Amino acid sequence: MPRYPVEHKADTRRRIVETAGRRLKSDGIDGSGIAALMGDAGLTNGAFYAHFESKSDLVATVVAEQLAAQVALLEALPASPDAITSYVRAYLAPEHRDDAAGGCPSAALLDEIGRCDDAVQHAYNDGVQRILEVIAASMVAAYGAGPDQAWERAVGVWTVMVATIQLARAVCDPALSDRILAAGVNSALTLVRELDDRPRRAPAARKRTRSASARG
């Protein structure tokens, strides 16, 4: 039997996780058997347990990696109102609605994750908490919002975004689906733009006052 380098096993595992992510989001967790998941990666069932202890182990890995990719994307965005607006619009675009397999794991799998075992739920909990933290930090940087308000607003915006995609996918009338997306964009951006209505701070003025006091 040929011996493969360590990199081969890592590459194979990565391929399984990537293809499983698309299958799970397309067909659902319950609708995706190990045979289908391995077949998508060009492998047999027998190879599965060389990489994962169970289907739950694979699902938890997929969820963790998919959410980590979203975190990386959010962290790469400039800390500006325009960047936040662009992200909301891209998330709630028809292209995302029509590509469940390549889209957000929350929108595709949220209802099933709530019925999964602890490993999957913990993976989701940790990933979505990090997403909310990054969105909140972006709002602090872009709008000068306080941490608590930014956190609450991040939860609201994320909830609107995920629920909008789910609802837009669930209806069968294309025109209604488009209207749902448009309404979701308006609702999410209203939550964001309300941050601009906060009394603006004047750090430079306060700094001058402190400096003057120090000199006195």
Q: What is the domain range of residue 147?
A: 55-200
Each residue's pLDDT tens digit, 151-174 = 999 999 999 999 999 999 999 999
Number of domains in the chain: 1
Each residue's pLDDT tens digit, 94-115 = 999 999 999 999 999 999 999 9
Residue 113 belongs to some domain of the structure: yes
Q: Look over the chain and give the mean of its residue pLDDT values, rounded to a whole number.
A: 90
Residue 71 belongs to some domain of the structure: yes
In whole angstroms, how far apart are CA 16 and each of 37, 71, 152, 197?
A: 7, 21, 36, 47
Residue 34 has pLDDT above 60, yes or no: yes
Q: Which of 74, 45, 69 is nearest to 58 (CA)?
A: 45
SS3 content of the chain, % helix, strand, coil (to 5): 80, 0, 20
Residue 198 — pLDDT band, cuts 50, 70, 90? low
Phi and psi at residue 87, in whole multiples of 5°?
-65, -45
